[in-house]
Structures are given as C-alpha cells and as structure tokens.
Amino acid sequence: MKKLFSVTAALCCSLWSAQAQNNPVIQTHYTPDPAPMVRKDSVYLYTGDDIPGYPFYYMTKWRVYSTADMVNWTDHGSPISLESFSWAVDRAWAAQCIERNGKFYWYICAQSKDNNMAIGVAVGDSPTGPFKDALGKPLIATPNWSNIDPTVHIDSDGQAYLYWGNGHLYYVKLNEDMISYTGDITEVPQTAESFGGVRGGTNNQDVYIEGPWFYKRNQQYYMMYAGMENRTECLSYATSQSPTGPWQYKGKIMSKQPTNSFTNHGGIIDFKGKSYLFYHNALLKGGGSYGRSTAIESFTYNADGTIPAISISAEGPAPAGVINPYKRVEAETIAKAENCSTSQDEQTGVYVSDIRTGGYLRIRAVDFGKTAPTSFTASLAAGLAGGILEVHVDSVGGTKLASIIVPRTGGWQSFKTFTEKVTAPVTGVHDVFFAFKGQNITAGRKLYNFDYWKFER
C-alpha cells in the first residue's frame, strides 16, 4: 500500500513531470538497436554502440542498461565486444538477450573472418554478465550477408525460435540448450499479404528490410520489423496464430517520423501494466545515421490486439516507480546527463566520468518521504582539486540541498566518500539534479569522477 502511495505520488507530482524530456533515454553513449528484456521488477536494455563520425556502422561493442521505473537507467557498461568472439572481425550489430533456466543468452551478429555476417551467442549467469562466447564459433554461419539482427522467443510449450535476416527473414528452432538448433534454416515467404510487399516491388508498398522483433501476446504472435518508406526505415508489423506463420501484414507502427536516422530498429515489451515501444533515433546531440540512440514511447494496444500508430516524443514514458535516496544509488543511474560520460574499471565498475563544468545529472522521481534528510554522501575521485558537486531539487538551478568541494583524492580512480549537511528541508517526491561546477577551472578540463550517492536522516 505504502509503495502504491509513493508511485501514485510520483505520477501526480507536476513539478518534475512538466519539465521532463527523456528521449533519447541514454545520453552518455550512442545506443542503437535497442532490445529490452523484462526480468522480475526490472527492464534490461541491450544495445549496440555507435561511433558518430564514422561513415558506416563500424561498431565494436554492445552495452547493457537496466531500470525499475522506465526513466532512470543504470549503466552496466559493455560486457561484450568483438574481442569476446574470436571469429568476429567487425560490425558489432543488433542483438537480443533472453533468459532460460537461470542463464542469459545474448544473441549477437558480427562480420566473421570469411567476410560474411554471422550470428553468435554469449552466455552469462546474470543479465549483466559476465558473458562468454558459448560456442567459440558462430551459431549461424551460412555464407550470407543477411545473417544479421537475431530475435529470439521461447514459446509457452518451451520451444525456442530464433528469427533473423536482412532482406530475407529466416528462422530455426533452437534446442533447449539455446546454443544449437535442430532442423533446417527456413526462409519465410514474403508477399504483400505477409509483410506488405516484396523487395524490388512497387514504391508504395511496405517491405521487410531487417530488425525483426518476435514475441507472443494473448495467444497471438507478432513480428515487428524495419520496413521501408521514402528511402528511410519505418517500423511495421505482421501477426500470426502460429510461431512459424503464415504471417499477416498489419501495417506501420512508426511511420514518417522525424527520427533523422536512415535505419530504425525496435523492441516491444509489457512492464508494470503498460506497453512500451523501444526504437532508435538520431536526435541526441552530435548524433546522425551512424550515431543513433534508444528512445521509448508507451502505448496501448487496440482491443483487437492491433498496435496503434506511434509518434516519437521528446518526453518519452512517465515514471513507473520512485528512487529511494536513503539507499546507495549508483551515480550511473540517470534520467538525463549533460557534459559527462560513463567509464568502467575492474575496481569500481561503472562510474560517471568526463564530468565538465556546466554539466549535470537528472534523477527523476526521488522519494524523500515525510522526514527530510539531514546529510548527503557522495563517492568521488579527482586527480586535481577545484571541482564542486552541487545537489539541487526540481531543476538544475532549483533549491540547493548540499554542496561538496572536491579536493584531490589521490587520482581519477581513487574514490573517497564525502558527507555534507543538507541545508534546505525536502520531503516528498522530487527530481534531483547534480550540478557540475568548479572554482578556477581551465575551460574544458575534467572535474571529478562520480561513483555513488545517498542521503541520510
């Protein structure tokens, strides 16, 4: 009941919701090809890692994030990269992770040594890894450039299906071990009835391009995919009464939207009673068709199970929970970040790095409860003195709660905890802003690294 009250309070608090601008949801890295996975009370988000400025999708690693509230995302770093797959040479492209019997299977695609694209699988004991190449070789390695964009679903009878493909859509039935398959690779026939059109067909027809997302909901199977309109990818979908078709084209989900990206690639989940579409756009500062970022829209299925047309928004979803500030919160749990990035090392794990003057972190829907905190603690590391961490609520220039003047701590990776008094009373649900400031700082130099924070009372 108490939890329900807090969530309701969070959803009703206009102070922070009015200013919210969540999309793209990650601002510290470029995060294309989002693949969400619901597990218990959290959503895990698996993405690629774009490097804008490159003239193609020359990508080298994959990333993982998680959230319990759909707005504050915790960065778990990059557990796998091309280096994790001895057979992979380039193009760390779209991927999806799924759980079976307590193990996590992360299906990826990459360019293999024979210059084709191939699908591999890494396995881990937790959704954030560590992960290890399960086979030491690709799972799908036909001499084919179409072997990209794996999507996987385990049906209610336990049979798992792996779909994938660019231009062509293929599937296999995975064995229970999830790292082998039985039977032939089957190509799904493409017709106007199944996917809106055929490649090379008339210009006004939709067509399956890539990025399939296969799932089941209320006894119906869905295949969302990147279709094509005006030389740009849209998101379209088909449904079926069986996991292997026949598929029936149902139309476009995301069409003619100003994403600024040639590609689109999505995933759909239900979480805490709502439905969410994950997709990518090129709207993060410095982005472009090779600098794409995950964005999210919530939506409601029509009564007959069809998916409505969905427009992109800057706001994204509303909070589906609150943050407890009296427990350690990782600094890399972020709704919005400016002028900073994240890094990881063996000792500390992931932390907020590359912090520059004028930047900030926004954490949404922080529930201070009925009794105000008296002190604030942060774990910070600085190779040079002069940085200041200010804590505000409601906006980056809103009421100041605390301020830490950060001395040299012995190095940029030498984290020390600092505790300061809270100088203004705060109760209830607020957005918290960490403002990055400095005293006599040469323009552009980094201030400090930030590992975690909490309030005490």
Please identify, using beta-carbon distances, which residue of 267 and 387 lies nearer to ligand FUB: 267
CB of 275 to ligand FUB, least distance (A): 22
CB of 49 to ligand FUB, least distance (A): 10
Residues forming contacts to ligand FUB in the complex (CB under 6 A) are 32-33, 48, 57, 93-94, 148-149, 210-211, 263, 265
Please identify, using beta-carbon distances, which residue of 148 and 329 lies nearer to ligand FUB: 148
Query: Is the distance from CB of 237 to CB of 250 less than 8 angstroms?
Result: yes
Residues 6+ apart with CB under 8 A from 274: 298, 317, 320
Residue nearest to ligand FUB (CB): 93
Token readout for 10 is: 């969070």
Please identify, using beta-carbon distances, which residue of 25 and 393 lies nearer to ligand FUB: 25
CB of 252 to ligand FUB, least distance (A): 17
Nearest to 16 by CA among 430, 331, 414, 433: 430
CB of 371 to ligand FUB, least distance (A): 48
Place of tokens 């895990």: 44
Q: Is 210 a catalytic residue?
A: yes
Please identify, using beta-carbon distances, which residue of 265 and 362 lies nearer to ligand FUB: 265
Integer Cα distance of 355 and 387 in angstroms: 9
Query: Is the distance from CB of 382 to CB of 449 less than 8 angstroms?
Result: yes
Q: Which of 69, 149, 206, 210 is catalytic?
A: 210
Please identify, using beta-carbon distances, which residue of 165 and 386 lies nearer to ligand FUB: 165
Query: Is the distance from CB of 224 to CB of 163 less than 8 angstroms?
Result: no
CB atoms within 10 A of CB 309: 12
CB atoms within 10 A of CB 150: 26
Integer Cα distance of 226 and 204 in angstroms: 15
Helix or strand run (H / E) with residue 104: strand 103-112
CB of 194 to ligand FUB, least distance (A): 20
| Catalytic center residues | 33, 210
